[in-house]
């Protein structure tokens, strides 16, 4: 009788243990885990895979979205971009050797690693993300910029630039108008300042051949378009 009682108790314990285990597994199997939606990692862009004429241009929906590598960088959502003579020349391979040295000064990468290459130097758009050291911009700011030729260009949905390459877009200009100015304006400014030697201290009363006066940079100079 004592033996029978012991067996019944053990059986009850086993049943209870099995019941508890079953309930536990069942509870785990129906548990829901909350996750965020995956972030898109690709974007549309016009790229080239080799140097040549217009036929090397290719539209893709699968260009990788740029990311911030340095704390002074910002990501811009492109609203407008423009075509400059340098874009046409870069498409043909102009300056490729020098630009690749700038992209890869230690010669770690192999030849052709710059492709697929996105052209475009001018951009007007909205700041999407800022590096930790960026103090003058925040997401949502409307900005314009001139992207250096050794970086990926602006013929894409997003572009990453350094904080010193971007400024707030004038409110008097829409994105299309703003995108037509940065690179050509900087080219004219370089000619006036670097070649012509004009600056805010010596430009008063000086004029370059022509009839019209313009305002260049943060100060006015009686000069004309070159």
Provide the terminal-to-terminal Cα distance of the chain, rounded to the nearest Å.
114
Which pLDDT does position 210 carry in this prediction?
52
Closest by CA to 121, choosing from 163, 166, 69, is 166
Q: What length does the chain have?
A: 226
Residues 6+ apart with CB under 8 A from 109: 103
Q: Are 114 and 100 in contact (CB under 8 A)?
A: yes
Q: Are 127 and 140 in contact (CB under 8 A)?
A: yes
- 166 - beta bridge partners? 145
C-alpha torsion 152→101→48→76, nearest 10: 0
- For residue 187 the two structure tokens come to 């080219």
| One-character DSSP codes across 150-171 | TS--SSBSEEEEEGGGEEEPPT
Which pLDDT does position 188 carry in this prediction?
87
pLDDT along the chain (226 residues), means of 10: 45 42 44 45 96 96 95 97 95 93 85 92 97 96 96 97 96 96 90 86 76 41 38
Which pLDDT does position 189 carry in this prediction?
87
**pLDDT tens digits for range 44-89:** 999 999 999 999 999 999 999 999 999 999 999 999 999 999 999 9
Which pLDDT does position 27 carry in this prediction?
44
Which pLDDT does position 221 carry in this prediction?
41
Distances (CA, A) of 32 to 13, 36, 37, 94, 97: 31, 13, 15, 56, 55
| One-character DSSP codes across 103-136 | H-TT--SPTTTT-SEE---EEEEEEEEE-TT--S
Consecutive H or E run containing 209: none
Which pLDDT does position 83 carry in this prediction?
95
**pLDDT tens digits for range 196-212:** 888 888 888 877 665 44
Which pLDDT does position 29 carry in this prediction?
45
Closest by CA to 47, choosing from 90, 79, 6, 17, is 90
């Amino acid at each position: 009788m004592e033996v029978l009682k012991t067996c019944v108790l053990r059986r009850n314990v086993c049943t209870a243990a099995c019941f508890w285990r079953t309930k536990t597994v069942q509870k785990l199997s129906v548990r829901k885990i909350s996750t965020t939606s995956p972030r898109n990692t690709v974007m549309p862009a016009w790229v080239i895979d080799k140097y040549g004429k217009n036929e090397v241009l290719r539209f893709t929906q699968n260009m990788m979205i740029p990311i911030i590598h340095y704390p002074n960088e910002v990501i811009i959502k492109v609203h407008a971009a423009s075509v400059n003579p340098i874009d046409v020349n870069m498409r043909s391979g102009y300056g490729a050797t020098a630009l690749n040295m700038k992209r890869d000064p230690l010669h770690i990468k192999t030849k052709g690693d710059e492709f697929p290459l996105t052209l475009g130097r001018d951009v007007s758009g909205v700041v999407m993300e800022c590096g930790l050291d960026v103090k003058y911009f925040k997401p949502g700011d409307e900005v314009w910029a001139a992207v250096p030729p050794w970086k990926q260009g602006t013929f894409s949905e997003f572009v990453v630039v350094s904080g010193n390459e971007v400024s707030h877009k004038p409110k008097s200009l829409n994105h299309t108008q703003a995108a037509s100015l940065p690179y050509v304006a900087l080219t004219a400014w370089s000619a006036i300042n670097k070649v012509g030697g004009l600056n805010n201290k010596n430009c008063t009363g000086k004029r370059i051949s022509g009839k019209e006066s313009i305002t260049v940079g943060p100060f006015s100079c009686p000069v004309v378009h070159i």
